[in-house]
Structure 1
Amino acid sequence: MRLKRTLATDYQPNKMDGSFIVLIAVLVLFVVSQLWAQSQVKGIETYPYTVDKTYDGFEVRTYAKANFIYVTMDAKTYAKGSSKGFRTLAGYIFGGNDRQQKIAMTSPVVMNMDSDVTMKFLVPAEYSMDQLPKPDNAEVRFATEKERTMAAITFGGFANDGTIKQHKDELFQLLAAAASNTRASGASWATIRPSRLVGRKNEVVVEVLR
């Protein structure tokens, strides 16, 4: 009996072992979720463009004519406008319309940072404007963007007001050094799905006058 008591007293579960197992499980789930997100991104329809010229630090592109859904918000910053804008537009494409019709997610998510903040989703090419269902939310509107020439600078991580301003200023400096004329306004384009944490890509884009 004394021996049995000694063995029972000496055995103590290693709490670190349990914590390590939980950590490994969390890491595995994270990796799997990001691989899934990456596979979903590859299948998303994107705003079509051709690269006209590549410079050191940026490139000039011609974007094709395309249709968008958009919402304009009384916000002065990316931080205040991005969350509300995404919820509003996502509500529409996830069935918030008169047909309760779901519309595929596309890329990029466009944020125009002018006097107000406007967020846009590209309309899949399979839909013409008159084929789109009527939104339940009157703030959701439709627009056609003409073909246009844009300069784009790319950066990783999570976009915020500071990184947008930093890369917008850098892009204008690069354009000035390349002897290009540009319009004063710029737009931040988040070019991946929000569920993806690894390998995110953002762009600041401005229209080029020729």
Structure 2
Amino acid sequence: MANKKDRPKYLVLKKWGNFEIRQYEPRVIAETRIQNDFEQATKEGFNILAAYIFGQNATKSKIAMTAPVEQTEDLTQKNWLIAFSMPINYKITDLPSPKDPRILLKQIETQKRAALAFSGFCTEKKATQNTRLLLELIEQHGYSPTGPCILARYDPPWTIPCFRHNELLFVIH
């Protein structure tokens, strides 16, 4: 399990309960595109990206596990994007090339995001319900989402549901 220092860095700009407006620092992600249902896409994408950080890359280097695992629906192609943030000490040029052609390394620039935190198992139904709530909160606070909703899961699968930390995020302006 990744600790808090292995998470994307951000500054909380505003906070109302479990809803926050954050300014994220630039970061690098490893991302894969999966055509499958909500749950299977998470598992398949996780396994592909885990293989990369555990040494199935051009230099057989191991890269520290980070949190969260992000899942975003790509509505244009009807599939899912699964992403791991790379540790903050890596620039994109420092990372080994993936052996798996399904993995893409990407630089993500500074972003403002709205976040809604919740606990428990994150089913597709629960994500959909919380996404509606997050969209209402974004509008109430005078922001507009840009792009699809991002589901961020922070805990390993053996974590007891009441201790799990999940978030839904939208890039906003």
* TM above 0.5: yes
- How many corresponding residue pairs? 169
Bigger radius of gyration: 1
CA drift of 1:181 comes to 1.9
Say if 1:159 and 1:202, in contact at 8 Å, map to a contact too: yes
Q: For the residues of structure 2 that align with 1:109 and 1:121, how far apart are their CA atoms?
A: 5
Unaligned runs of 5+ in 1: 1-39
Is the aligned partner of 1:63 residue 2:27?
no
Say which SS state the counterpart of residue 59 (structure 2) adopts: coil
Higher strand share: 2
Shift in alpha-carbon separation, 1:42–1:165, aligned structure 2, 3 A = same
CA drift of 1:60 comes to 0.4
Q: 1:109 aligns with which of 69, 73, 86?
A: 69
Partner of residue 84, structure 1: 44
Q: Name the % identity.
A: 25
TM-score by length of 1: 0.75
Higher helix share: 1
Say if 1:57 and 1:174, in contact at 8 Å, map to a contact too: no
Say if 2:113 and 2:171, in contact at 8 Å, map to a contact too: yes
Say which SS state the counterpart of residue 106 (structure 1) adopts: coil
TM-score by length of 2: 0.90
Unaligned runs of 5+ in 2: none
Alignment of 1:32-181 (within 5 A): 40-42=1-3, 45-75=6-36, 77-115=37-75, 116-181=79-144
Question: Alpha carbon RMSD of aligned pairs, Å?
Answer: 1.7
Q: Deviations over 1:53-73 (max 9, x none)?
A: 012441100111000111011
